[in-house]
Amino acid sequence: MTTQTLAAAPSTTRDATTRALLACVVVANPLWVGVSLLQAATRAGFDLTRHPLSALSTGDLGWLQILNFVVAGVLTVLGAVGLRRALPGKWVPRLVLLNGIGMVAAGVFVMSPANGFPLGAPTGMVELTWHDYGHFAAGTIAFVSLIAACYVLARSFARAGRRRHAVLSLVAGTALLVGDLWAMSGGAGGSITLAVGVFAAMAWISTVAAELR
């Protein structure tokens, strides 16, 4: 990538299609976060200190989170096309595209009920199924690509002399990296640290896309 990558042209020069595509990723991330938090606050038995947001895809109302994953993922894929049209560089659009594909796959492959959620589910962990492995693989793709996108943005912003944006990109990517590693290690409140990291990275990608519009 070159400094040219983030030397965006004024938004008035964007064609309507590019602006609409960028709007998709601007909307996708806050939509996913908002719907997830609303469910986390209202679904009986869900505890964010113990259950990952992906667990919301299970149970009678699981279709809501499945739909949330798929819709947000499709919007992110469309947004990646907008980023490709708005940025001369290729890596950020490619990584955002992978993130969107990972989100769709995470909705398709639903993890098994476990750890007491939904109500009536076995307490503790359960034997993993191929759907669980599919979900974990999808999550890995989504998280790694999102972290990488933030770090590529940090490098590009730094080269362009936009230090504040470079620092924010680095913070967002690192928040997700640390949150994910802590959750994978079984650390206390790992699902919360992961959620915070995901929210931070997603919010930053949406912010950058909004500025490019």
Residue 2 pLDDT > 80, yes or no?
no
H-helix or E-strand spanning residue 107: helix 91-108
Summarised one tens digit per residue, pLDDT across range 49-95 is 999 999 999 999 999 999 999 999 999 999 999 999 998 789 999 99
| Segment 182-210 mean pLDDT | 94
Q: What is the pTM of this model?
A: 0.91
> Would you place residue 3 in the very low, low, confident or very high pLDDT band (cuts 50, 70, 90)?
very low
Summarised one tens digit per residue, pLDDT across range 166-178 is 999 999 999 999 9
Residue type at 14 in one-letter notation:
R
Residue 135 pLDDT > 70, yes or no?
yes
Domain that holds residue 183: 3-212
Contact 25, 96 (CB under 8 A): yes
- Mapped onto helix, strand or coil, the DSSP state of residue 209 is helix
Which two tokens mark 161? 């002399």
pLDDT of residue 14: 76
> Would you place residue 144 in the very low, low, confident or very high pLDDT band (cuts 50, 70, 90)?
very high
**How far is the C-alpha of 76 from the C-alpha of 31, rounded, in Å?**
11
Instruction: Calculate the average pLDDT of the chain.
Output: 92
The total number of structural domains that make up the chain: 1
